[in-house]
Structure 1
C-alpha cells in the first residue's frame, strides 16, 4: 500500500509540475491571408493561436503569412504530418485541391 501511495504522489507531483510549467497558448500577431480565385473574397485568419489548425478553402491558391510566427502548409486537411514552412512575410502556392491545411508554430 505504501508503494502505491508513493507512486500516486510522484505522478501527482509530476502532473502539477507540467501544468505549472506549461504556459498559456500564445497567438501569432498578424494575419494569414488565403487567396482563392478572382471571384471569391480572400480568407483572413487574424492572430491565429499557436498550435491551431485550419483547413484551407477548397479553391485555395496562395497563402500569405503576415504573422510573426512560422506557418506550415500540410498536404491533408487535419495538419497531420510534416508541412512546408512559410516564414513571416512570405507566401506559398497551393494547388486548388481542397486537401490542404495550415498550422501555426
Structure 2
C-alpha cells in the first residue's frame, strides 16, 4: 500500500478510505492515518486536497483519521484544509475510544 503513495496518491487515498470504512481496529486505522494519509498530505495537489475535504465532509470515520497526521509532517495548505475537521491538537492522536462506528452497509475485514 505505501509503495503507491508516490506513484499514485489517488489509489493510496482509495485504500485509506476503504480502510476507514471497513476496519474497527483503532490501531490499524491510526497506522493508516499516520502513514499513508500523512504521506498523501505531505504535498497534495489542489485536486487531491479537494477530494480529501469532500471525503471528510461525508465520512465521520475519515474525519477521525484526519486527526492522526501531525501538523509538522504535512503541507501547510493541507493543514489549512483539514484543520476544521480535526478534534485533537496539532500534535495529538485521536483517542481509540472515540472511534466512530462504521457506516451502515460497510463490511468489516475478517
TM-score, structure 1 as length reference:
0.28
Q: Relative contact order (C-alpha < 8 Å, sep 6+): which is higher?
A: 2
TM-score, structure 2 as length reference:
0.28
